[in-house]
Amino acid sequence: MSTPSLTGTDSLQHIVRRWRTAMFVVFAACGFALAAWVSRTPSIRDGLHASTAEMGWLIFAIAGGAIFGLTSAGGLVGRFGARPVIRVALLTAAAGLAVIALGSALASFAVVLAGLIVFGLGFGTTDVSMNVAGAVNERALGRTVMPHFHATYSIGTLLGAGLGVLAQHLGLPVSLHLVLAAAIMVAAVVPALRLMPAGIGIATPGQPKLTRSERLAVWRDPRTLLIGLMVLGMGLAEGAAEDWLPLATVDGYGVTETMAAALFGVFVVTMTLGRLFGVLLIDRFGRVAMLRASALVAAIGLVVVIFGPTVTTAAIGIALWGLGTSLGLPVGMSAAADDPRTAAARVSAAATVGYAAFLFGPPVLAFVGEHVGLLNSFVVVLGLVIVAGLIAPAARPLTGSGTAPAVRTEQEPVSVS
């Protein structure tokens, strides 16, 4: 996989920093787009007169489209490079939002369902592509930066949710809101991608591209699968909070909906802070130590939330839960991309395994919660977080100690056109 070289009057570091800026925009745009949909689900449900089961099918439609995107993205990046794949995938996601808007305006369940499949396809494809590009950028910088990219995803989510709240407050129709969100995403991403070098993810000159059998062999690689399992555990910890934490605190602690929203805000804030400042600790102590520490902190937080006696202790547990969850996904994606030649295929495989948490996690927790209560259902999450901590050594860098080797400017030129 290529790294950028000196081009004209541009210095290497200037190219790499511009590339990093593009990645910040792409990650934030993904969070923003997802929040646009999530923030209006109550209005969409009411407009469609959809039952809980029908809303479950809509959520499954996103997941189904995303899984197809996750599994196909590695091959697309390897053939065309990350930049054009990200561009097309984000435009696809924007088109999905527009179709959802149309379905909302027509009060058509089928049109909304179709829009969500398209949105999920674009979202899943972007997810793998941007993580591959981010991991290569991390190597070019020679220091940890992936958690920062995922932090901007969280910030984008907050901005998207904020726009949703404002739209609801102003009485803006769902259709107009989603079209506006799609337009903002496209307006931000298309020019930003010009800052990203072409050819990221494609085999370097003289290096053969992966064959079909080599891409399939990635799925039999124990390290990649263990990284995927680790991402699954930490991803479920993140997804469980996003899906069920407000309702669990209402049912389990008897708080108001406003307080439940505030407690979820504690989770998002501490997770974002963990991603912003965790890079310093990763560079100092290494991936494995920080993943183990993160899993331990998340596990302690979950125990406090599940078994704590008061809302105050629950708030402390939620803060620890968010902090401990923050590094699992970004570090897992960095680890999957350690081998430059197979990075796209391995990120695709690890992401597919890991993101199964977002596909199967909500219904599993709902089923368990139906029998033992939502708070107690988090024991499932706790168990997988412990497993994630135990298998953290799988994320040890392939290139030796540290996070990523500094790029050598005389090798492997990439076009920045």
271-324 pLDDT, tens digit per residue, is 989 998 988 899 889 999 999 999 999 999 999 999 999 999 999 999 999 999
- Does 404 have pLDDT greater than 60? no
Instruction: Report whether 371 contacts 86 (CB < 8 A).
Output: no
Q: What is the pTM of this model?
A: 0.77
By C-alpha distance, which of 204, 237, 241, 149 is closest to 343? 204
In order of 23, 46, 92, the CA distances from 123 in angstroms are: 15, 25, 8
How does residue 358 score in pLDDT terms, banded at 50, 70 and 90?
Answer: low
Cα–Cα distance, 327 to 6 (Å, whole number): 32
Dihedral angle computed from the Cα positions of residues 310, 313, 319 and 320, in that order, rounded to the nearest 10 degrees? -130
Residue 153 clears pLDDT 80, i.e. is over it: yes
Identify the top-confidence range among 16-30, 140-154, 248-262.
16-30
As a whole number, the mean pLDDT across the chain is 84
| Residue 409 pLDDT greater than 60, yes or no | no
What pLDDT, on the 0 to 100 scale, is given for residue 204? 59
pLDDT at 263 over 60: yes
- pLDDT higher for 53 or 219? 219
Task: Quote the distance between the C-alpha of residue 396 and its chain's center.
Answer: 21
Distance CA 412, CA 405 (A): 15
Q: What is the signed CA dihedral for 336, 318, 53, 359, rounded to 10 degrees? A: 10
Mean pLDDT of 42-69: 81
Token code pair at residue 275: 């991603």
Residue 336's SS3 state is: helix
Facing residues of 7 across strands? 10
| pLDDT of the residue at 28 | 95
pLDDT digits (tens, 9 = 90+) for 82-108: 999 999 999 999 999 999 999 999 999
Quick check: 72 pLDDT over 50? Answer: yes
Q: Please state, in angstroms and rounded to a whole number, the distance separating the CA atoms of residues 157 and 162.
A: 8
Give the integer Cα–Cα distance in Å for 284 and 401.
11
Residue 7 DSSP class: B
pLDDT, greater one: 148 or 407: 148
Distance CA 358, CA 297 (A): 22
Confidence at residue 170, expressed as pLDDT on a 0 to 100 scale: 86
325 touches 241 (CB < 8 A): yes
Identify whether the C-beta of residue 326 lies closer than 8 Å to the C-beta of residue 275. Answer: yes
Q: If residue 339 lies in a helix (H) or strand (E), which one and from where to where?
A: none
What mean pLDDT is predicted for residues 3-17? 63
8-17, 194-203, 234-243, 397-406 — which is least confidently predicted?
A: 397-406
Distance separating alpha carbons of residues 30 and 158, to the nearest angstrom:
11
Which pair of tokens denotes residue 162?
């904020």
Nearest-10 crossing angle of helices 257-285, 311-325? 40
Which residue in 372, 112, 336, 85 sits closest to 228, CA to CA? 336
CB within 8 Å of 413: residues ≥ 6 apart: 2, 4, 5, 7
| Residue ranges of domains in the chain, CATH in brackets | 1-204 (1.20.1250.20), 215-397 (1.20.1250.20)
- Nearest CA to 153 out of 330, 332, 281, 381 is that of 330
